[in-house]
């Protein structure tokens, strides 16, 4: 209990009240399901990320700071929900999209799928990523994180936009920004039939809900990306994710490492239970024995984590 309180009291790199987290998902493009297959895992993705964001042990933002946009009917319907939420962000603006991503046949630009999007006419019925970029540019938020878990139309990206890193890097000319794409330009993102989540988001959800090994008490967006990249590298059938960073975007601390929290709670919990059971003269020798056996290691771990946190903040 004490450890959880300390963890929750520690500030992340954003103010939960003045930040906005926007989760967008399109599970069906009903006008073209022959070419754009349904993605039933999309809803599980959105549910899991909303749960993680509002979990005080992991991120801990109020539900009012989270906007979930499910299966927007068309680009106008998406804009109606998206733009007000973007304008509300003052500190961190976090946008996640899962669904189909397409390259317009006419413009060669990236479009995000909605219910009415078709492969042939994505230029006209898809949501133009450039509009999202402009909206992010206009937001008063001083920090931005963008995560795209979507299929790109195969080799349509190659030779036209310089690869996934190039698409994101060229499209987001804003400060303190970190962007992640789930796949390079020459491969599609994976949504395996029967799986609860899409492949990339499934790895992200597992990482955030279970934490990662190491002394880090908190996870920056860059640490999350690196952990994801290592995990995905062990699964050759999955595409390698890409990232783009603007200014100090990589330093944004957005989550608590639940694995470290759990270890500390177990260790200190043992001590608290021991104190509760002990009374009077029995307390002193029992406490002394437990402290001699366990306290040095706990203190060393906490001190090391605090030093690493201070160093990370100090290094430009």
User: Quick one: pLDDT at residue 241?
Assistant: 86
Q: From residue 5, give the alpha-carbon distance in Å to each of 1, 184, 240, 267, 284.
A: 6, 41, 37, 15, 26
CA gap 282, 280 in Å, rounded: 5
- Residue bearing tokens 């993102």: 189
- CA nearest neighbour of 25 among 124, 95, 88: 95
Residues of the chain with pLDDT under 70: 1-10, 151-175, 184-188, 247, 249, 261-284, 287, 299, 303-304, 306-316
Tokens found for residue 26 = 């399109």
Fold (CATH) for 2-257: Rossmann fold (3.40.50)
CA gap 26, 113 in Å, rounded: 7
> Of all residues in the chain, what percent are helix, strand and coil, respectively (each to 5)?
45, 15, 35
Domain with CATH 3.40.50.1460 in the chain: 2-257
- CA nearest neighbour of 216 among 69, 75, 10: 10
User: Quick one: pLDDT at residue 168?
Assistant: 44
């Amino acid at each position: 209990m004490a450890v959880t309180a300390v963890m929750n009291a520690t500030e992340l790199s954003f103010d939960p009240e003045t930040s906005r987290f926007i989760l967008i998902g399109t599970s069906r493009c009903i006008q073209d399901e022959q070419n754009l297959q349904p993605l039933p895992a999309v809803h599980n993705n959105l549910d899991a990320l909303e749960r993680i964001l509002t979990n005080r042990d992991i991120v801990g933002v109020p539900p009012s700071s989270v906007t979930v946009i499910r299966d927007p009917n068309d680009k106008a319907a998406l804009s109606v929900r998206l733009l007000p939420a973007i304008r509300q962000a003052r500190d961190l603006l976090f946008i996640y999209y899962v669904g189909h991503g397409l390259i317009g046949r006419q413009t060669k630009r990236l479009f995000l799928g909605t219910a009415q999007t078709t492969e042939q006419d994505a230029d006209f019925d898809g949501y133009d990523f450039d509009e999202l970029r402009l909206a992010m540019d206009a937001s008063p938020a001083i920090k931005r994180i963008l995560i795209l878990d979507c299929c790109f139309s195969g080799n349509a990206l190659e030779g036209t936009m310089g690869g996934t890193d190039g698409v994101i890097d060229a499209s987001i000319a804003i400060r303190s920004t970190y962007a992640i794409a789930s796949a390079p330009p020459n491969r599609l993102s994976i949504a395996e039939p029967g799986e609860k989540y899409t492949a990339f988001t499934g790895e992200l959800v597992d990482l955030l809900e279970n934490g990662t090994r190491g002394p880090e008490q908190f996870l920056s967006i860059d640490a999350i990306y690196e952990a994801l990249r290592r995990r995905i590298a062990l699964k050759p059938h999955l595409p390698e994710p890409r990232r783009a960073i603007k200014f100090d975007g990589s330093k944004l601390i957005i989550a608590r490492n639940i694995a470290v929290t759990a270890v500390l709670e177990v260790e200190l919990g043992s001590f608290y239970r021991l104190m509760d059971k002990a009374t009077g003269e029995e307390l002193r020798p029992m406490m002394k024995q437990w402290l001699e056996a366990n306290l040095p290691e706990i203190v060393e771990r906490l001190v090391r984590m605090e030093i690493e946190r201070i160093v990370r903040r100090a290094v430009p």
